[in-house]
């Protein structure tokens, strides 16, 4: 954990610094926002602890404009609720009152280190993968982690780092698919001031930031093939050149982990991925099976997410019924763990009884699960109509648009009209949700306003 403390606060932040050091953090201290910016650019950081009187909003906006995603917590003397609200609105993750409480500082550092990446597995097939990961973690070999989207490749990468000899050194991740092609080179290798428009100062890249530790190249097969040659040289020579640099190469000591959801050999055949780079990265391959092949993991993850999102939404945790669990285990989950998590979040919000029932499981096609059995030519719903939150009786004869409308409005009711929360639960963009709601209001339907649940209209 690399912590930068920004400001003084009458020496109280120095006390916080000592607590953080005892928790194993590497701590640097600067007086103001500009010094913090320069230090993050040149050294990197996992967390900023900032005096609440400083310009937290300006600091975080500048970091964001330079594509630096370092979280910040604000610190102030005493329990100043107004200052805490201002800091959170400015983008701080948390407000810590001073004098510092050792347990609170430790909890914040642990939360940032964990970064909500839960590694939960129970299935025999996943145990075999973890066993291989344990076996190779302490080596210096490059590792390629493959698997479908959402299987947990990034979580596995963090696990390997935590078990490696570099566990106490930086862990740095870069998503090769999320950064525009023309910016990825400077993101990886850094740049000098004036190297291109917007390069307002020298900045270290992810290679230098990860020096001594682990660098994750997430979705590496999305990288343009022209940049792959420079990446190969950096891995082979253990040195990089900053964009626009004239001072010669910079030595780096890192362990590379890469991930991909594509068929690597097929990408090589198509000419979109260099074979020599694949040889360098794929010294050890950890293939994570899809969730549909890990039923015991599905069971464990469902219970975990049900607990997690009950606590997140300040709701009483509810057990999952056997019928609901059967539905969850038997679904294909093309989006894997990511898709399962969204489904369980919805189920937690929509569960009306004393447990999460089969009727509360809204699968990603937008429909609640209703098992239909044919008996002598008559279709009946295997669901308790009194408990079903979405419909009375069978869904047969209803259009997809009707079911979708009911799902959206019911979810908005459960979110007390909060559009952003509802969009997250539904797994759609806020723009799509607003367009749908505008359509329903134009049709004369009652749509819940923010702050009140409204009435369900059929």
Q: Considering only CA atoms, which of 128, 130, 148 is closest in space to residue 332?
A: 148
CB 153 within 8 A of CB 271: no
- Give kind and range of the element (H or E) at residue 266: helix 264-270
Mean pLDDT confidence for 39-58: 85
Task: Please tell me the distance from the alpha carbon of residue 74 to that of residue 12, in angstroms, as a whole number.
Answer: 13
Q: What angle do CA 291, 126, 345 make, to 5 degrees?
A: 40
More confident residue, 255 or 446: 255
Task: Please tell me the distance from the alpha carbon of residue 453 to that of residue 150, in angstroms, as a whole number.
Answer: 32
Quote the percentage of the chain above a pLDDT of 90: 38
Instruction: Burial-class residue 223 by CB neighbours within 10 Å (0-12, 13-18, 19+).
Output: buried
Q: Considering only CA atoms, which of 96, 9, 80 is closest in space to residue 47?
A: 96
Q: Considering only CA atoms, which of 254, 253, 264, 192 is closest in space to residue 223?
A: 264
More confident residue, 175 or 110: 175
Task: Please tell me the distance from the alpha carbon of residue 426 to that of residue 428, in angstroms, as a whole number.
Answer: 6
Where residue 261 falls among pLDDT bands split at 50, 70, 90? very high
CB 215 within 8 A of CB 234: no
Where residue 373 falls among pLDDT bands split at 50, 70, 90? very low
CB 306 within 8 A of CB 137: no
Where residue 385 falls among pLDDT bands split at 50, 70, 90? very low
Where residue 126 falls among pLDDT bands split at 50, 70, 90? very high
- Domains of the chain, first to last: 2-114 (3.40.50.2300), 124-289 (3.40.50.300), 292-442 (1.10.8.60)
Q: Is the pLDDT of residue 390 over 90?
A: no
Q: What angle do CA 193, 199, 201 make, to 5 degrees?
A: 45
Q: Is the pLDDT of residue 376 over 80?
A: no
Q: What angle do CA 414, 417, 418 make, to 5 degrees?
A: 100
Instruction: Provide the b/e sequence for 366-405 (b: ≥16 CB within 10 Å).
Output: ebbbbeeeeeeeeeebebeeeebbbbeeebeeeeeeebeb
More confident residue, 45 or 414: 45
Tell me how crowded residue 179 is: count the other CB atoms within 10 A of its CB. 17
C-alpha atoms less than 13 angstroms from C-alpha of 336 in its C-beta half-sphere:
14
Q: Is the pLDDT of residue 178 over 50?
A: yes
Mean pLDDT confidence for 118-144: 91
Structure tokens at 7: 């400001």
Task: Please tell me the distance from the alpha carbon of residue 59 to that of residue 263, in angstroms, as a whole number.
Answer: 41
Looking at residue 63, the DSSP 8-state letter turns out to be H
In the numeric block, the tokens 């862990």 are attached to 171
Mean pLDDT confidence for 327-334: 92
Count each helix (H run) and each strand (E run) in the chain, helices first: 18, 14
Please provide the average confidence, as pLDDT, over all residues in the chain. 82
C-alpha atoms less than 13 angstroms from C-alpha of 443 in its C-beta half-sphere:
13
pLDDT of 441:
83
Strands 378-381 and 372-375: antiparallel
pLDDT of 8:
76
More confident residue, 88 or 426: 88
Of 29-38, 59-68, 99-108, 335-344, which gets the smallest average pLDDT? 99-108
CB 84 within 8 A of CB 74: yes
Q: Considering only CA atoms, which of 253, 248, 243 is closest in space to residue 203?
A: 243
Structure tokens at 20: 């953080």
CB 75 within 8 A of CB 12: yes
Q: Considering only CA atoms, which of 226, 276, 227, 230 is closest in space to residue 249?
A: 230
Query: What is the phi-psi region of residue 397: left when phi exceeds 0, alpha when psi lies from -120 to 50, beta otherwise?
Result: left
Question: What residues contact 434, with CB distance under 8 A and at least 6 apart?
Answer: 419
Q: Is the pLDDT of residue 114 over 70?
A: no
| Terminal alpha carbon distance of the chain | 53
Where residue 313 falls among pLDDT bands split at 50, 70, 90? confident
Q: Is the pLDDT of residue 59 over 80?
A: yes
Mean pLDDT confidence for 246-254: 86
Helices (H), 164-260: 181-189, 206-209, 225-237
Task: Please tell me the distance from the alpha carbon of residue 153 to that of residue 141, in angstroms, as a whole number.
Answer: 17
Of 117-121, 191-195, 373-377, 405-409, which gets the smallest average pLDDT? 373-377
Chain segment 87-96, per-residue pLDDT in tens = 888 888 888 8
Chain segment 188-231, per-residue pLDDT in tens = 998 887 666 666 677 888 999 999 999 999 999 999 999 999 99
pTM: 0.63
């Amino acid at each position: 954990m690399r912590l930068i403390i920004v400001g003084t606060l009458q020496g109280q932040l120095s006390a916080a610094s000592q607590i953080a050091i005892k928790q194993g953090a590497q701590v640097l201290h600067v007086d103001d926002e500009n010094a913090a910016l320069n230090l993050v650019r040149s050294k990197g950081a996992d967390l900023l602890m900032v005096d609440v009187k400083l310009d937290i909003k300006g600091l975080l906006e500048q970091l964001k404009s330079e594509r630096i995603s370092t979280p910040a917590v604000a610190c102030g003397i005493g329990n100043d609720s107004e200052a805490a609200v201002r800091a959170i609105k400015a983008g701080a993750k948390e407000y810590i009152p001073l004098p510092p409480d050792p347990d609170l500082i430790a909890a914040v550092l642990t939360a940032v280190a964990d970064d909500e990446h839960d590694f939960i597995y129970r299935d025999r097939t996943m145990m075999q993968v973890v066993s291989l990961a344990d076996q190779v973690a302490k080596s210096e070999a490059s590792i390629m982690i493959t698997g479908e989207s959402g299987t947990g490749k990034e979580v596995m990468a963090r696990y390997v780092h935590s078990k490696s000899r570099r566990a106490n050194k930086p862990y740095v991740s870069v998503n090769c698919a999320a950064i525009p092609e023309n910016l990825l080179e400077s993101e990886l290798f850094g740049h000098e001031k004036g190297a291109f428009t917007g390069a307002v100062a020298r900045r270290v890249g992810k290679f230098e930031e990860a020096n001594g530790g682990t660098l994750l190249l997430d979705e590496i097969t999305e990288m343009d093939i022209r940049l792959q040659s420079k990446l190969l040289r950096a891995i082979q020579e253990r040195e990089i050149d900053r964009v626009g640099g004239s001072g010669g190469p910079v030595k780096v000591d890192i362990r590379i982990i890469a991930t991909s959801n594509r068929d690597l050999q097929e990408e090589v055949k198509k000419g979109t991925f260099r074979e020599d780079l694949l040889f360098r990265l794929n010294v050890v391959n950890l293939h994570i099976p899809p969730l549909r092949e890990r039923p015991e993991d599905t069971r464990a993850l469902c219970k975990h997410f049900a607990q997690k999102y009950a606590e997140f939404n300040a709701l009483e945790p509810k057990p999952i019924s056997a019928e609901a669990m059967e539905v969850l285990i038997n679904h294909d989950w093309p989006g894997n763990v990511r898709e399962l998590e969204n489904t369980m979040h919805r189920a937690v919000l929509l569960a009306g009884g004393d447990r999460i029932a089969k009727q509360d499981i809204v699968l990603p096609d937008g429909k609640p699960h209703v098992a239909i059995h044919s008996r002598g030519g008559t279709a009946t719903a295997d669901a308790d109509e009194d408990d079903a939150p979405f419909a009375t009786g069978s869904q047969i004869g209803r259009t997809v648009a009707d079911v979708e409308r009911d799902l959206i409005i019911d979810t908005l009711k459960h979110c007390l009209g909060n559009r952003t929360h509802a969009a997250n639960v539904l797994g759609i963009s806020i723009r799509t949700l607003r367009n749908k709601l505008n359509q329903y209001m134009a049709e004369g339907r009652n749509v819940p306003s923010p702050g009140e649940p409204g009435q369900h209209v059929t």
